Structure 1
Amino acid sequence: MTAAGAGPAALEITGLSAGYGPIRVLQDVTVSVAAKEIVSLLGPNGAGKTTTLLACSGMAKVSAGDIRLGGRSLLRLSPHVIARRRLAHIPGDRSLFPSLTVDEHLRLCARPGGLDVLELFPELKKRRNRRAGVLSGGEQQMLALGRALAADPQVLLVDEMSMGLAPVVVERLFSALREIAASSGLAVLMVEQHVHLALKYAQRGYVLAGGRVRTQGTAEELEERWPEIETSYLGR
């Protein structure tokens, strides 16, 4: 279930336990994201935020619970099948191919209905024939985001989009993501270490610690309660 007024869930994670081999990282995690909504996963390093995204993409072992995209379970599906179901994932390392050009990245992932990335990011249009490995960090993150959006996803998972980038680039990327979600119906689940930045652009958030959801609320509620949350759940 989503928050009141958020609409039906595009992505619904219920009672999720997941990890790697015998190591269980997540325990009974329940999270939902509606169309046009940006939801943040917050918490310290090792809390299970990235593992939540990897479980949705079929890259972490699920031992209990369910993950549903548009009402259909993703359990036991391989990552490439999940991607075809219109779930896109931008990992923290961006996972670009250094030897491929901007144009080649976009053509590999483009689907009918996908975003015109070169219009969204004119910087990439000027560098369309350059290899990804020689782009600046900001340009690489634009390409990672653009490649995902070119695939016309229903749900987008974003892991640490601000990492290593100048504040002006970060604001540009998050502003673009918010506008796209609002206009296209895209549902976004994002992991972000910079709490106040995440809550500026999200509508809701979940706080993870020790592999469990400790609290949740609207962005405004979590922002107001953050000193208490840090003391009660994050041990700060």
Structure 2
Amino acid sequence: MNALLHGDAAADAAAEDAPLLRLSGVNAGYGDVKVLRDVDLEVARGEIVTLLGPNGAGKTTLLLACSGFVNVTSGDIAFHGQSLIGTVPHAIARRGVAHIPEDRSLWPTLTVDEHLRLTAKPGALDVYDLFPEIARMRHKRAGLMSGGEQQMLAMARALVSNPEILLVDEMSMGLAPVIVERLFGTLEEIAASQGIGVLLVEQHVHLALRHATRGYVLAGGRIRTSGTAAELNARWSEVRASYLGTS
């Protein structure tokens, strides 16, 4: 019995030491079309990891695979050391994986309050304190909000579900720079204060590297290089020429 207890404790300790999210040799795609090829990637608690690459590289597909919306044909995606393969999207969300898609996926006729009540869990962050901008419009329909306000709502809706990791797809798209900086600052705050991991797909590469801990460059469905944000910035001309298709 004692040996069994020690074994359980060791397993718990190993799970605690494991990356929050780990992709190992992941191949995934749509039907017969393979998009991701042998992808290895990790996100730890409290860090922001950015996923860079050209259009069509497979960045959104990678996030969708983590959320259970894209079929993984081989390899593994583990959360807290436990495989997510074969788990349906709503069960993955309940386990603590929150996905903020590029289109935000808001319901235009629902109010801010109604959106938050759909996903709120006991003990959730006070997102109205985090985003006073939307606190003032809690009875406003999402379809009548600006793009920046909608993005704040999409993030708030994810955060009230008490996630352990956020998958964020193109958060800055179509938004004014001041709003983008505000949102990035919020990501940094919650990662540091709540220990939430963040996997971020972002079109503004230098902005992403300024706020991220580490980064991966994805091209042609494969991870071409990775490193700390400082390392990728120092090798920027090489990264841009070799992996982002620019000169």
RMSD (Å), alpha carbons: 0.8
Give 5+ residue unaligned stretches, structure 2.
1-16
Shift of 1:84: 0.6
Aligned to 2:32: 22
Shift of 1:199: 0.2
Give 5+ residue unaligned stretches, structure 1.
1-6
Q: Which of residues 54, 60, 81 in structure 1 aligns to 2:70?
A: 60
Q: Which of residues 203, 226, 229 in structure 2 aligns to 1:216?
A: 226
Matched, 1:128 2:138: yes
Q: Which of residues 75, 81, 90 in structure 2 aligns to 1:80?
A: 90
Contact 1:118 1:125 in 2 (8 A): yes
Q: Which of residues 166, 171, 182 in structure 2 aligns to 1:161?
A: 171
> CA–CA distance in 2 between the matches of 1:183 and 1:159?
22
Shift of 1:141: 0.2
Contact 1:12 1:69 in 2 (8 A): yes
Contact 1:8 1:35 in 2 (8 A): no
> CA–CA distance in 1 between the matches of 2:61 and 2:172?
18
Shift of 1:234: 2.9
Contact 1:102 1:127 in 2 (8 A): yes
Matched, 1:40 2:40: no
> CA–CA distance in 2 between the matches of 1:170 and 1:235?
25
Q: Which of residues 197, 206, 211 in structure 2 aligns to 1:196?
A: 206
Contact 1:57 1:79 in 2 (8 A): yes
Contact 1:42 1:206 in 2 (8 A): yes
> CA–CA distance in 2 between the matches of 1:165 and 1:232?
29
Aligned residues: 230
Q: Deviations over 1:159-211 (max 9, x none)?
A: 00000000000000000110100010100001001100100110000000000
After the TM superposition, list the runs of 4 or more consecutive aligned residues in structure 1 that deviate by more than 3 angstroms: none
> CA–CA distance in 2 between the matches of 1:188 and 1:235?
26
> CA–CA distance in 2 between the matches of 1:152 and 1:145?
12
Contact 2:18 2:81 in 1 (8 A): no
Q: Which of residues 160, 181, 184 in structure 2 aligns to 1:171?
A: 181
Other structure's SS at 1:9 match = coil
Mapping of residues 142-157 of structure 1, within 5 Å: 142-157=152-167
Stretch deviating more after TM superposition (221-230 or 34-43):
221-230
Shift of 1:113: 2.8
So what's the TM-score if we normalise by structure 1? 0.96
So what's the TM-score if we normalise by structure 2? 0.92
Shift of 1:129: 0.2
Bigger Rg over Cα: 2
Q: Which of residues 159, 163, 182 in structure 1 aligns to 2:192?
A: 182
Aligned to 1:3: none
